[in-house]
A and B are shown apart, each in its own frame.
Chain A
Amino acid sequence: MADTLVPDFPMPRAARCPFDPPPALKELQQQAPLVKVRQWDGSESWLVTRYADQRALLGDPRVSADPDRPGYPTKASPAAGEGKLSFIMMDDPEHARLRRMVTAPFAVKRVEALRPAVQRIVDGLIDDLLAGPNPADLVETFALPIPSLVICELLGVPYADHAFFQDHTKTMVHRDATPEQRGQASREVAAYLAGLIGERVTRPQEDLLSGIAGRVIAGELTHQQATEMALLLLIAGHETTANMIALGTLALLQHPDQLALLRESDDPRFIAGAVEELLRYLHITHLGRRRAVTEDIEIGGQVVKAGEGLIMVNEIGNRDPEVFADPDRLDLTRDARRHVAFGFGVHQCLGQPLARMELQVVYGTLYRRIPTLRPACALEDVPFKHDAFIYGVHELPVAW
């Protein structure tokens, strides 16, 4: 039967190449621009393998990000807690209306103003790391707390509540947490954020939650929508940034020549370029961007029909040899700015200026302050997050 020829998605990575896309995915990219793949629930969707087609389709108004549309390839069963996350799973014009309510604090200049605060957070965590036991788990001590504390800063979570916030956000992404525990932690954080928004409605301050509260007062958002939006900003920026910090550090430790370039540079432009290359090379959203086709579209010599699903794995788009020469090589000196690690089209990551700045501070500080940083276990013993929504490492034992 022809059915048996449809490959399963996702595919396994090669054991010795945890930073590279699965070999089968690379093969499909060489074979055809669009390939049917089968998912966990038996449904078949189009896997879009090439950079130019991924950008074209993600930017096409005939595709929908709404998981309720026919053909939308859901990442997992609803029990896994993927949920419908505010505007990232909506289409325009409602998507644009909601998105524009929270874009201001992520503008490049606003984010730049946060840089000293992020530097303080990173320096403080490195002080704590150096004062604590050696070896240590870099994920727990450094990678996860950074985005959590930065989000506290951005949203306006009072200092006294940072411990609660860190504790619960950690549970939300922890591998040893049961789905019930994750759900419970998520509900407690949501209730906490709802409370803060309520406070800001009566006593506005200069923070992101006050901006959202203002929309509630103006009748543009319900309290529920406002809470979902705050939770989305937290979830979207937390595990993603943490995984880029830990996985990026591991990749650099495996490429000592590249790590040396970063450690020895104090040129902000070089560090910014290095961040772009690590975003291109690592690409943590390994399950791809998902869309449903709403009108027939001809692309790559193929017609994708209304009611069919699309999976854009930007990880292989970023390794497309048509766009990036010698794409499987980590080269911090290359111009990698055209990568699609943040997606493309109207849904492209709105927090990207913040993610970039956080990673610039982290990569520009950690290896200079701890020049002897090294892995405390063999690469094959590092637990990679093959099954998670966001790729990375569960733990990264390091010594110095």
Chain B
Amino acid sequence: MRVELDEPKCVASGQCVLAAPEVFDQRDEDGIAFLLDETPGADSLDGVREAVAVCPAAAIRLAER
């Protein structure tokens, strides 16, 4: 799978980090999310799906292949 993050939309709620900490982290300077892994393995699928669902800014997209 491929994860896309629309950074300008991010509102730093931190919910993606809670849902999939191996895929998402937050910048030190403003808490805006960034990707640790753009193509995580299947183990991360549930966590990334949850992150997509809970992101309040609809900033995360998941392309499953």
Which residues of A are interface residues toward B (Cβ below 8 A)?
Answer: 58-59, 96, 99-101, 103-104, 106-111, 337-338, 342-346, 348-350, 352-353, 356
Contact = CB atoms under 8 A, between A and B. Distances in A.
A204 to B, nearest CB: 16
A3 B8 CA distance: 44
B12 A106 contact: yes
Contacts of B12: 99-100, 103, 106-107, 350
Contacts, number: 70
A343 B11 CA distance: 13
Contact of B26 (A96, A99, A109, A345): A109
Interface of B: 11-15, 17-19, 21, 25-32, 50, 53-54, 56-58
B14 A108 contact: yes
A58 B13 CA distance: 15
A100 B32 contact: yes
Contacts of B50: 337
A103 B19 CA distance: 19
A338 B54 contact: yes
Contacts of A348: 11, 13, 56-57
A4 B56 CA distance: 37
B54 A352 contact: no
B18 A108 contact: yes
B13 A104 contact: no
A343 B56 CA distance: 8
Contacts of A352: 13-15
A107 B56 contact: no
A102 to B, nearest CB: 9
A104 B10 CA distance: 13
B55 to A, nearest CB: 9
16 contacts: A99-B12, A100-B30, A103-B11, A103-B30, A106-B12, A106-B14, A107-B31, A108-B14, A338-B54, A344-B56, A348-B13, A349-B13, A350-B13, A352-B15, A353-B14, A353-B18
B50 to A, nearest CB: 7
Nearest to B11: A346
